[in-house]
Structure 1
Amino acid sequence: MPTTRYLFFFFILIFFAAKSPDWMELRYPATYEAEQINKTFELIEFNDTIGNDSLFVLRNEDGLPHSYARNILTGVCIDGTCRLLNISLYWTVTGRYLGFRLPEGEFLSKTEHEPFQPKDYQQLHHLLADPFSRLANYQIEELVPKTDEEEVDGVTSATITGIKDFVVENAVYTTYTLWHIVHGLTQQQVENYTQQHLSTELLLKILSSPDQYDVQWGLKNITGKTVWTPALLDQLFSLVTSNNLTTAKQAIDAIPVDYLEEEASQLRLFSYFDQTTHFSRLRILNKLKQVAILSPSIEAQLASQLPTLNGSAVKAVLELFSAHQLYSAQNEKIVASLLEHDNRFIARKAFQFLDNQPETNKKLKRQLKKFESRLN
């Protein structure tokens, strides 16, 4: 079987004729590398205007979904006539645009059926990969400005200003049609198929992807039915310190609370507290609010750090202590010292925490009364 190394590099554009290629394929890197690819197909009700219902599932050597393909046969109108668009589109296992392939002898065309040049194919490839294209905001009849002529052509007429940077020049309808196929109903079906076949092994490969979209897709699709293996947990924890804030947040949120009921697991998560961003620190503290019993070691470490933390971190720690009713004498002493803090926000949070304690000794009552008097 052919290897899939080609999935990780751009193919060189090969032209056997001066104006049109006999064969063309462009790909972005896939979610993960595979030793070999085996093609199967599924019959899917796409509910679109494309004339076939076959979704090709490309599987790796272990039978896991690796990527998807769909053969597209649809009309694109140029110069008042319609030409059949014959192309295969590819998606990664997470539904991300992967690339396209033209059958031998096929080519894409522009004004007056002028064939695409190599730079046009490269630009199209780039444009199709953009999930935030402005093309999402337009209907096909809005692509070109109206004229006095009875018929308006999407290729020979001027393109509306808002989408010029999102289409191949003189190939407005072709770009629009392909972009909406790539990011439309087929993409949804691709994601649905992966979700239905999301095994632990496949999820591990997705979370190990170098592409952040893939990783975040995997984190978003973790459910209560996910089977946690040591390897999968290791990969999840490795994402806690990601430089991508969204990835780090999703990773922390995805850690199963049942797993954190063990003190060793809590300590494992807390070991990242001093290694990660301020934003992720707050997520870790929020996650620890969900456990039944907080590790005494974590309580002691957080209490000792209170005088050095900024306002939002102090607030989060005190909320964590309140959630677990951690009103020890040691905690009380450290928090009471914050009543004299130069940062009035921190001082107020300390006051609120101490004032809500179920029991308050005489010395602390005097401190709280003194603090209140300064506020008046």
Structure 2
Amino acid sequence: MKILIVIILICGLSLMPTQKMIRNYNIDGQKRALTKKPEYYAMEWQDGIALYNKPTSYFIEVETMGNQNVDMLVTDLQRPVLYTADICTPVCADGECRLMYLTLYWNLLGSYVGYDKVEGQSLTKHDHVEFVDQDYEKLHQLLLDDNSILKRRKIDELVSKPKESDIDGADAIAGATITEVKESVVDGALYSCYVAWNIAHGPIKEELQEYTAALFDNELKRYMLMSNEQDYQMYALNSLSESEFLEYKDRIAQIFGESIPLVRTYIVQNLPKLFWQTEDLQIPFWESFAEVDINTRSLLLNHIHEAPVNVLVSLGRNLELMTKNQLKLYLEAIEKNVSTSPEINAQLLRFAESGNHTYGYIVTEFLEDLE
């Protein structure tokens, strides 16, 4: 019991010069603000922005240390941007404990996005060796990995224990780190990495998602849709009504051309029927055909029978990008247009006669059948 009390007192005293004493105010009584990009951070940062701590009802329970409050970071207009928590947690191994200090950041969907070191509180490895810059960066990359092996293993499953050990130090482990995890954690700091990862990816993630869902309004929807963060885009897209798809049609087409396959797939599969029935609405998506991935091209081609002739002509310039099945879909769709569109006919002839295309024979057979 005495040891626990001492640890708690040390943690509290150590935080006094660098961390908040009242949840959203500095020790000098000034409203607390984050005015620069966190040192280790995976999102875009708006220069000149100031984010202010706003208390939430959530906390992270740290063993022997009690509850550590989680705040929302908002702009001066009260727009939510991030969540944050000042963490003080013991890291113990081989009977010795040291305190680890971090300021963690999560995005509005509860995903870890970065951290700041606490001034005067370096992270350490075994034998009290302090982290170097590469170690801090490696920790950041580990924390960004939501599917790390640390998610599936207990700490004692991450080491191979020898019969005897004379290893000493706060983050020492009586055994070697197993190969599967060794490359992803900081050498000599398995315990610190394990504790930090499980705090960043613990129950707080789902709780923050619920908190954001309760705050989600049209303003936040627009903010996420305009963001370059793919998880924000997906969250916003999933909330759109048919009328909102029309309202944001230009932004949705832009996202389709620039985002990841998962987001593109969602867009193609969820565009209202009106888009495929209206030439002006569907053309921006066809214009990205050459840039998108193979699966997205297949999803687009599922709508080729609804495409206007100018789209068919445009697709004819990209025959070499199509798979065998995609090419067959295209040929089936243009069968009625070949004789009436000299441009489509010329494209098919060039493709079939070039001798450079694996599926040129399919086009040759198609043209012969039309004669």
TM class by smaller structure: 0.5 to 0.7
What is the CA–CA distance in structure 2 between the aligned matches of 1:156 and 1:299, rounded to whole Å?
Answer: 63
Match of 2:356 in 1: none
Note if 1:294 corresponds to 2:306: yes
Amino-acid identity (%): 25
Match of 2:22 in 1: none
Could you tell me how far 1:240 is from its partner in structure 2?
Answer: 2.4
Match of 1:222 in 2: 237
Could you tell me how far 1:243 is from its partner in structure 2?
Answer: 7.3
2:224–2:235: 8 Å Cα contact kept in structure 1? Answer: no
1:55–1:68: 8 Å Cα contact kept in structure 2? Answer: yes
Could you tell me how far 1:135 is from its partner in structure 2?
Answer: 2.5
What is the CA–CA distance in structure 2 between the aligned matches of 1:306 and 1:28, rounded to whole Å?
Answer: 39
Match of 2:191 in 1: 173
Match of 1:233 in 2: 249
What is the CA–CA distance in structure 2 between the aligned matches of 1:64 and 1:348, rounded to whole Å?
Answer: 60
Higher relative contact order (CA 8 A, sep 6+): 1
Q: 1:139 aligns with which of 133, 150, 154?
A: 154
Over 3 Å counting, the alpha-carbon distance change for 1:165 and 1:272 in structure 2 is: closer
1:42–1:57: 8 Å Cα contact kept in structure 2? Answer: yes
Over 3 Å counting, the alpha-carbon distance change for 1:47 and 1:2 in structure 2 is: closer
Match of 2:280 in 1: 264
1:303–1:331: 8 Å Cα contact kept in structure 2? Answer: no
Match of 2:327 in 1: 314
Residues 55-94 of structure 1: matches in 2 within 5 Å? Answer: 55-94=70-109
Match of 1:43 in 2: 57
What is the CA–CA distance in structure 2 between the aligned matches of 1:230 and 1:29, rounded to whole Å?
Answer: 31
Could you tell me how far 1:66 is from its partner in structure 2?
Answer: 0.6
SS in 1 for 2:76: coil
Could you tell me how far 1:280 is from its partner in structure 2?
Answer: 3.6
What is the CA–CA distance in structure 2 between the aligned matches of 1:216 and 1:348, rounded to whole Å?
Answer: 44
Letter in 2 for 1:43: S
What is the CA–CA distance in structure 1 between the aligned matches of 2:209 and 2:139, rounded to whole Å?
Answer: 23
SS in 1 for 2:177: coil
1:252–1:283: 8 Å Cα contact kept in structure 2? Answer: yes
2:59–2:67: 8 Å Cα contact kept in structure 1? Answer: no
What is the CA–CA distance in structure 2 between the aligned matches of 1:349 and 1:139, rounded to whole Å?
Answer: 61
Match of 1:99 in 2: 114
Match of 2:21 in 1: none
Match of 2:41 in 1: 28
Match of 1:6 in 2: 36
What is the CA–CA distance in structure 2 between the aligned matches of 1:114 and 1:275, rounded to whole Å?
Answer: 49
What is the CA–CA distance in structure 1 between the aligned matches of 2:78 and 2:248, rounded to whole Å?
Answer: 19
TM-score (norm 2): 0.67
Match of 1:374 in 2: none
What is the CA–CA distance in structure 2 between the aligned matches of 1:252 and 1:100, rounded to whole Å?
Answer: 36
Over 3 Å counting, the alpha-carbon distance change for 1:159 and 1:101 in structure 2 is: same
Deviations 1:182-201 (A, max 9, x none): 22322233334334434444
Could you tell me how far 1:57 is from its partner in structure 2?
Answer: 0.9
SS in 2 for 1:106: coil
Letter in 2 for 1:313: Q
Could you tell me how far 1:246 is from its partner in structure 2?
Answer: 4.2
Over 3 Å counting, the alpha-carbon distance change for 1:146 and 1:219 in structure 2 is: same
SS in 2 for 1:317: helix
Deviations 1:190-216 (A, max 9, x none): 334334434444344444445xxx214
What is the CA–CA distance in structure 1 between the aligned matches of 2:318 and 2:149, rounded to whole Å?
Answer: 47
Letter in 2 for 1:27: Y
Note if 1:124 corresponds to 2:136: no
Match of 1:183 in 2: 201
Could you tell me how far 1:98 is from its partner in structure 2?
Answer: 2.6
Over 3 Å counting, the alpha-carbon distance change for 1:134 and 1:264 in structure 2 is: same
Match of 1:163 in 2: 181
SS in 1 for 2:92: strand
Unaligned 5+ segments in structure 2 are 1-30, 354-358
Could you tell me how far 1:77 is from its partner in structure 2?
Answer: 1.0
What is the CA–CA distance in structure 1 between the aligned matches of 2:178 and 2:318, rounded to whole Å?
Answer: 57
2:90–2:100: 8 Å Cα contact kept in structure 1? Answer: yes
1:70–1:89: 8 Å Cα contact kept in structure 2? Answer: yes
Deviations 1:80-114 (A, max 9, x none): 13334443311123444332235454343332444
Could you tell me how far 1:284 is from its partner in structure 2?
Answer: 2.0
Unaligned 5+ segments in structure 1 are 11-25, 352-363, 369-376
The number of equivalent residue pairs is 325
Letter in 2 for 1:178: A
Aligned-residue RMSD, C-alpha? 4.5
Over 3 Å counting, the alpha-carbon distance change for 1:273 and 1:181 in structure 2 is: same
What is the CA–CA distance in structure 2 between the aligned matches of 1:47 and 1:308, rounded to whole Å?
Answer: 57
1:249–1:280: 8 Å Cα contact kept in structure 2? Answer: yes
